[in-house]
Amino acid sequence: MDRDFLLEQLGQTDSKSSNRPVRKKVKVKKQKPLWREYVEVVVISLAAAIFLRLLVVSAYRVDSSSMEQSLYEGDYIFVNKLAYKFGTPTNGDIIVFDYPLDPKKEYIKRVIAGPGQTVEIIDKVIYIDNMLAEIVPNAVNYDPKIMPAQLSMRDNFGPITVPPDQYFVLGDNRDFSQDSRDWGFVPENNIRGKALFVYWSWEPDGSSPNWSFPYIHSVFQMGFYFLTNFPSKTRWDRLFTAL
């Protein structure tokens, strides 16, 4: 083997090879295939979505009218799951929680009173600790009729004191809501998060197609229904409505 070549390998030279240029190997980075880049983007996006879904926010669909005028049936909302990890609900918050009588179901209502506060309803007017409660403007829907306490707790209720670690909640569609007047308080451990905003809203339609066997047929029916009714059934004025 040539002696000069050995000296170059060791980074040395002698008088005969002092003027010879040192050869360096240049590593060429291999470019990723395009399909691999797409796969990585999809995987990262899915991982981020799963992380957000499990720990930060959840998406829900409102399927009743108990929260009108704030939320309508067919509203799709985002709920902040971290809102009460380092704090507690305040009066006026709209919360999602496990229904105390059946934890498999999830309800959405407005917090009216917290632990230690006394609630009383007199002819539809709410009092907290003997003071007139602050109500969110234009958020509550009422039936003008007032029912006596002997017939119903709808319009006259209490007074009652909220126990520790419990919350008293009502629906904004006050006279057409099953809430703490009917089934009691919401334990703090049942609360899943705070409603943030409406990100989509679809007007309910009794004539819309439903899932039925064979399900492949239903997919085409529902896809066609969505495409043809998208402009008219979307409640555009409710999109991104803060709660």
Q: Quick check: is 8 in a domain?
A: no
Q: What is the pLDDT of residue 194?
A: 95
Distance CA 27, CA 58 (A): 47
Supply 96's token pair.
């999602």
- Contact criterion met (CB below 8 Å) for 146 and 123: yes
Q: What is the pLDDT of residue 47?
A: 61
Residue with tokens 């009794």: 206
Distance CA 111, CA 238 (A): 22
Supply 197's token pair.
């905003």
Q: Where are the alpha helices (DSSP H) in 154-214?
A: 180-183
Q: Quick check: is 20 in a domain?
A: no
Q: What is the pLDDT of residue 10?
A: 42
Question: Please, which pLDDT band fits residue 161 given cuts at 50, 70 and 90?
Answer: very high
Q: What is the mean pLDDT of residues 66-89?
A: 92
What mean pLDDT, rounded, does the chain reach?
A: 81
Residue with tokens 């039936």: 143
Q: What is the pLDDT of residue 54?
A: 55
Closest CA to 138 of 68, 203, 202, 242: 68
For the chain, percent of residues with pLDDT exceeding 70:
69
Domain of 115, in residue numbers: 57-227
**pLDDT at position 122 over 80:** yes
Cα–Cα distances in angstroms (integers) from residue 159 to residues 28, 32, 90, 117, 148, in the given order: 79, 70, 20, 10, 15
Q: Quick check: is 190 in a domain?
A: yes
Q: What is the pLDDT of residues 10-68, one digit of tens each?
A: 455 454 555 565 566 656 566 666 666 656 566 665 665 555 555 578 889 999 999 99
Cα 89 from chain centre: 16
Q: Quick check: is 206 in a domain?
A: yes
Number of domains in the chain: 1
Q: What is the pLDDT of residue 150?
A: 81
Question: Please, which pLDDT band fits residue 211 given cuts at 50, 70 and 90?
Answer: low
Q: Quick check: is 4 in a domain?
A: no
Q: Quick check: is 43 in a domain?
A: no
Adjacent-strand bridge partners of 123: none
Q: What is the pLDDT of residue 7?
A: 37
- Per the model's pLDDT, the better-predicted residue between 210 and 177 turns out to be 177
Q: What is the pLDDT of residue 143?
A: 79
**pLDDT at position 141 over 80:** no
Q: What is the pLDDT of residue 51?
A: 54
Inter-residue long-range contacts of 207-212, CB under 8 Å, 24+ positions, other chains counted = none
Q: What is the pLDDT of residue 40?
A: 58
Tell me the HSE value of 36 on the side-chain side, using a 13 A CA sphere: 4
CATH code, domain carrying 79: 2.10.109.10
Q: Which positions are annotated as active-site residues?
A: 66, 109
- Contact criterion met (CB below 8 Å) for 184 and 85: no
Q: Quick check: is 174 in a domain?
A: yes
Q: Quick check: is 127 in a domain?
A: yes
